[in-house]
Structure formats: structure tokens, C-alpha cells
């Protein structure tokens, strides 16, 4: 019985960390691809040399040839430029759209049965292009953003409450941009609403609790930019890699986990024909189900505004 084959297109910051993470979780053999000669090969040798100490028996190769991705079960796309300070994700659209064309052609030719997890920014637009260029069924082409945005929200809640992040549940929907929608009423610590925990912390001062929650929401929306500003020469890469692992594992192990993924909507949440971040069940068939629920009027207004900014970007794609 063969091991799953995982291809990572783009062997930069996220690609490298993701490959290492996937091996230490023993998820499958890895192919690292990049246009830059030597980068994927160097990282593949480096990660392979960790195998004895980290106790994994997997094959990791680096390549500049799409033929090597043949037969991949999952392909993750991290190819493209990251943001620099002062840039929005949308500023990357021109250059990353061209890259998406090459990458999609390579995948279509050599890994026609793969599931694709797209990561490159601007996320919602890049997933849309990838699906158009490959022509793969929508349930096999998804984007990673919501898992990360939700994890960031959970992290800031945990810090504020002084509680383990592992007990924090949080959901962020919408596009992967400044208009993303953290759903405050779903944020809880093992079932206890965060709003109530904040009121407890601030001794019943509801206004103060509201202000703190608003600050957590604002920090979540700006978390990617906060890291870019600090790093100065790139964007977040450890947490994106971990979030990709969660999605990859759900597919490869048919976990049917519910998480926010950038998925193609056919009327759900009132959206027709666009990729947007929504709650999905992820398993061996990719996006197996899109889980709908009633948004409050306030949430709906924010979600619609987020969808509108996705549409604006997608409608001017090449």
C-alpha cells in the first residue's frame, strides 16, 4: 500500500515550514516544487536529514519539473509573492494571477485527480482562478484562510482571558481581507460565551467588555498586516502552515471536520457563483458539505460587505 503523495507548489517560507510539518506528522511523501532552481532541492535534503532524529520514513524530493508531481493526492499552492509593509493582499493580484496560470496548468497536466488547497493571496481571487484554469470540480479546489483567521481570533481571546487556546472555539467567515467577519456570538471557551467571560473579568461592566471584544475583532482582522509590519520582508508563515496541515489531514484521513474554508457557493448564504470563506465539512471528497446557518442582521450586513469586496476583485480578474 503506497503512502499519500503531497505536493507543495512554492517552496518559500510557507512551503518549507509546511513540508517539514507534514513530515513530522507523517502525512505522506512530499514533493516540493519551485521555479527557483535549488530552493526546493535544498529544502528537501535539509528536511530529509531531519528524518532520523524526528523518526519519519518518508520520501521528500525537491524539483523544478512538474512531471514529478504526477499522482499527487493533495496539492498545496503557496507560490506567489507575499505582502510587504504597506501593501494590501489585493496589491498582489497582477503578479500572482500570472503565477496561478502556470501552476494550474502544471497541476492539470500531471495531477488531474488531486485536491487543491490554494494559499496564495489575494486568496479568494486566486482560488477562483485556480478552479477556472484547472477546470477541476469545485469541491476539489478550496482555499485556506478561515482556519488561520479563526486561529488568530482564538489566540487573541486566549491571551485576553489567560486561558489555553486549545479550549477556545472561534469562527471567522467571509473573504480573506480586511472585511473578514469574526462571528462574536460563536466565540466560546468550551461552550461558555466569550462575551460572558469578558463581562465576568470586567466585573459586570458590559461596555468595557464590548470594547475589549471589539478590539479583539479588530486585531484579528489586522493580524496578517501586524505580522507583515513587524517582519518587514514577508508575511506570516508558521501559522499558515499549521492551518494548511489541519485541512490536509482532514482530506487525507477523511476526518469530516467542520472548519471555515474558502469554498464555491451555489446560493448558500445568498451568494451565487463565488468563492468565499464559509463553514465546510472537509473529508476525502474535499469540500463535502457547506454548512449554512442564520446570520443575524448585523452579521449579514458585514458578511455581505465582505462578499462585495471579493466580487469587486474577482469581477476584474483576467
Is 152 an interacting residue with respect to ligand TXD (CB under 6 A)?
no
The vertex-291 CA angle with 212 and 243, nearest 5°, equals 60
Q: Report the residue number whose CB is nearest to ligand TXD.
A: 12
In the Cβ-directed half-sphere of 134, how many Cα atoms lie within 13 Å? 31
- Minimum separation from the CB atom of position 146 to ligand TXD (A): 9
* 12 belongs to the binding site for ligand TXD (CB under 6 A): yes
Among 27, 148, 168, 213, indicate the residue that binds ligand TXD (CB under 6 A).
148
The answer to the question of residue 117 lying near ligand TXD (CB under 6 A) is: no
Torsion-angle region of 270 (φ positive above 0: left; ψ -120 to 50: alpha; else: beta): left
28 Rama sector, left if φ>0, alpha if ψ -120 to 50, beta otherwise: left
Phi-psi region of 71 (alpha: psi -120 to 50; beta: other; left: phi over 0): left
Q: How far is CA 236 from CA 11, 59, 80, 228, 311, in A?
A: 15, 27, 14, 7, 25
* Contact predicate 313/122, CB 8 Å: yes
Which of 269, 262, 258, 260 lies closest to 171, judged by CA?
260
CA 202-207-213 angle, 5° bins: 75
The nearer residue to ligand TXD, 28 or 146, going by C-beta atoms, is 146
Q: Given the rule CB under 6 A, which of 12-20, 202-210, 252-260, 289-297 is the region that contacts ligand TXD?
A: 12-20
| Residue 89: strand pairing partners | none
Minimum CB separation of residue 252 from ligand TXD in Å reads 19
Q: Which of 107, 144, 194, 271 binds ligand TXD (CB under 6 A)?
A: 144
Rule CB under 6 A: say whether 9 interacts with ligand TXD: yes
Considering only residues 67 through 96, tell me which ones interact with ligand TXD, judged by CB under 6 A. Answer: 78-83, 92, 96
In whole angstroms, how close is the CB of 77 to ligand TXD at the nearest point? 8
Q: CA 261, CA 145: separation in Å to the nearest integer? A: 7
Choice among 115, 138, 139, 176 that is catalytic: 176
Shortest Å distance, C-beta 188 to ligand TXD: 23
Interface stretch with ligand TXD, choices 158-166, 236-244, 266-274, 283-291 (CB under 6 A):
236-244
Instruction: Give yes or no for residue 43 binding ligand TXD (CB under 6 A).
Output: no
Q: Where in 254-313 is the site for ligand TXD (CB under 6 A)?
A: none
23, 72, 120, 155: residue in contact with ligand TXD (rule CB under 6 A)? 120
Q: Based on the shown chain and the rule CB under 6 A, indicate whether residue 62 belongs to the binding site for ligand TXD.
A: no
Nearer Cβ to ligand TXD (222/234): 234
Q: Distance between CA atoms of 138 and 149, rounded to whole angstroms?
A: 22
Output the nine-digit C-alpha cell for 61.
Answer: 524530493
**Beta carbons within 8 Å of 205's beta carbon, 6+ residues apart:** 199
**Is there binding between residue 240 and ligand TXD (CB under 6 A)?**
yes
Active site residue 176: yes
Of 212 and 224, nearer to ligand TXD (C-beta) is 224
Instruction: Report the b/e string of 39-65 with b at 16+ CB within 10 A.
Output: bbbbbbeebbeeeeeeebebebbbbee
Q: Which residues are catalytic?
A: 176
Binding residues (CB under 6 A) for ligand TXD: these are 9-15, 34-36, 39, 78-83, 92, 96, 99, 102-103, 119-121, 123, 144-145, 148, 176, 234-237, 240
Amino acid at each position: 500500500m503506497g503512502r499519500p503523495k503531497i505536493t507543495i507548489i512554492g517552496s518559500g517560507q510557507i512551503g518549507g515550514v509546511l513540508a517539514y510539518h507534514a513530515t513530522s506528522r507523517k502525512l505522506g511523501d512530499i514533493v516540493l516544487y519551485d521555479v527557483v532552481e535549488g530552493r526546493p532541492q535544498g529544502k528537501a535534503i535539509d528536511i530529509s536529514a531531519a528524518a532520523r532524529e524526528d523518526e519519519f520514513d518518508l520520501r521528500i524530493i525537491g524539483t523544478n519539473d512538474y512531471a514529478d508531481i504526477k499522482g499527487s493526492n493533495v496539492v498545496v499552492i503557496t507560490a506567489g509573492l507575499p505582502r510587504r509593509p504597506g501593501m494590501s493582499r489585493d496589491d498582489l493580484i497582477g503578479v500572482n494571477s500570472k503565477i496561478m496560470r502556470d501552476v494550474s496548468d502544471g497541476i492539470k497536466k500531471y495531477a488531474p485527480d488531486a485536491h487543491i488547497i490554494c494559499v496564495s493571496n489575494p486568496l479568494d481571487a486566486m482560488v477562483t482562478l485556480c478552479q477556472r484554469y484547472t477546470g477541476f470540480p469545485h469541491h476539489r479546489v478550496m482555499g485556506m484562510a478561515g482556519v488561520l483567521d479563526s486561529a488568530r481570533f482564538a489566540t487573541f481571546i486566549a491571551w485576553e482571558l489567560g486561558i489555553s487556546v486549545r479550549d477556545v472555539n472561534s469562527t471567522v467567515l467571509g473573504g480573506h481581507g480586511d472585511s473578514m467577519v469574526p462571528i462574536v456570538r460563536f466565540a466560546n471557551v468550551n461552550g461558555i460565551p466569550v462575551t460572558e467571560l469578558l463581562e465576568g473579568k470586567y466585573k459586570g461592566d458590559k461596555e468595557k467588555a464590548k470594547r475589549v471584544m471589539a478590539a479583539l475583532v479588530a486585531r484579528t482582522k489586522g493580524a496578517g498586516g501586524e505580522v507583515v509590519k513587524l517582519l518587514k520582508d514577508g508575511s506570516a508563515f508558521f501559522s499558515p502552515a499549521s492551518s494548511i496541515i489541519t485541512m490536509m489531514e482532514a482530506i487525507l484521513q477523511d476526518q469530516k471536520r467542520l472548519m471555515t474554508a474558502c469554498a464555491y457557493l451555489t446560493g448558500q448564504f445568498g451568494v451565487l457563483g463565488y468563492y468565499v470563506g464559509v463553514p465546510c465539512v472537509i473529508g476525502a471528497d474535499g469540500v463535502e458539505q457547506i454548512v449554512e446557518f442564520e446570520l443575524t442582521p448585523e452579521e449579514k450586513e458585514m458578511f455581505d460587505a465582505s462578499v462585495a469586496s471579493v466580487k469587486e476583485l474577482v469581477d476584474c480578474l483576467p
